[in-house]
Amino acid sequence: MDLGISGKTALVTGASRGIGLAVAQTLAAEGVRVVGAARNVTPELEKVATAVSVDLSTRDGARSVVEVALDTLGGIDFLVNNVGAGDPQGMSLGGLLDVDDEQWQTVFDLNLFSAVWTTKAALPSILERRGSIVNVSSINGRMPAGAPIGYAEAKAALNQFGKRLSEDLAPHGVRVNTVSPGPVATRLWTDPDNFGGSVAAAHGVAHADLLAGLPTQFRIASGRLTEPQEVADLIVFLLSDRAANIHGADHVIDGGTLKTV
């Protein structure tokens, strides 16, 4: 399928690895010029994008990366607000009484406000170019589960942000959609020093056993985790005009984890 996006421009946040990197690589393969942002610049990202080192959990960081993107690309057609989850270090996986206000703020800054700040800064250019936006949420935005507390709440708010933006922007030719993955085989789960390792430790199981048991634990109908490339393919399709009348929808990609209709 020809997506017809060659020559367009894109800003992808959280692009050094995982889903964001797969999105940057897929866009580049389609002939899109990409600026990709994360705190660490990886060789994989540098191969396909102009890589920017920035902390996107701050308003200044989010604004500054949009400035770099505008300077580098001359304008932004596509924005992928992918950055999220967060660093497991120092993050409590406990309940409301275990988690301090600072952790709530950290989780909301990265999983909600980063998208708000980046979108606000990029919007004049996206409006001018009648571009499109995809926010990367999670099935946890619809399912009050998962740790740390605050993550599901922030993603639910991100879903609402996308819907509101779509209502506001569709009449101006800008499409906004949400993509909500279930468990994806990124370092978030596969790296013992990341979130998967913390969850394993909290449950007193070996990291490898946790990984092997995830499909059962999450009751994933397909029996496996989603691959980052599968999420990237959906996002890039939604950005393209092949999805020209898809507005304000939340697209679940979870191997059948969510059981509601």
Ligand X SMILES: NC(=O)c1ccc[n+]([C@@H]2O[C@H](COP(=O)([O-])OP(=O)(O)OC[C@H]3O[C@@H](n4cnc5c(N)ncnc54)[C@H](OP(=O)(O)O)[C@@H]3O)[C@@H](O)[C@H]2O)c1
Query: Site residues (CB under 6 A) for ligand X?
Result: 14-20, 38-40, 55-57, 82-85, 110, 136, 138, 181, 183-184, 186-189
Which two structure tokens, joined as six digits, stand for 8? 């367009």
Q: How far is the CB of 205 from ligand X (least distance, A)?
A: 18
In degrees and rounded to multiples of 5, residue 194 shows phi and psi of -110, -160
Nearer to ligand X, 61 or 131 (CB): 61
Q: How far is the CB of 146 from ligand X (least distance, A)?
A: 9
Residues 6 or more apart in contact with residue 162 via CB below 8 angstroms:
133, 135, 137, 176, 177, 178, 248, 250
Q: What angle do CA 200, 20, 244 make, to 5 degrees?
A: 125
- The Cα–Cα gap between 122 and 77 comes to 9
- The Cα–Cα gap between 81 and 119 comes to 8
Nearer to ligand X, 99 or 115 (CB): 115
Q: Which of 113, 151, 161, 189 is catalytic?
A: 151
Nearer to ligand X, 19 or 211 (CB): 19
Q: How far is the CB of 202 from ligand X (least distance, A)?
A: 16
For residue 132, indicate whether it is catalytic: no
* Residue pointed to by tokens 């909290």: 202
Nearer to ligand X, 42 or 92 (CB): 42
* Residue pointed to by tokens 């920035």: 54
Nearest to 110, CA basis, from 66, 69, 158: 158
Q: How far is the CB of 56 from ligand X (least distance, A)?
A: 4
- Do the beta carbons of residue 19 and residue 184 sit within 8 Å? yes
Catalytic residues: 151
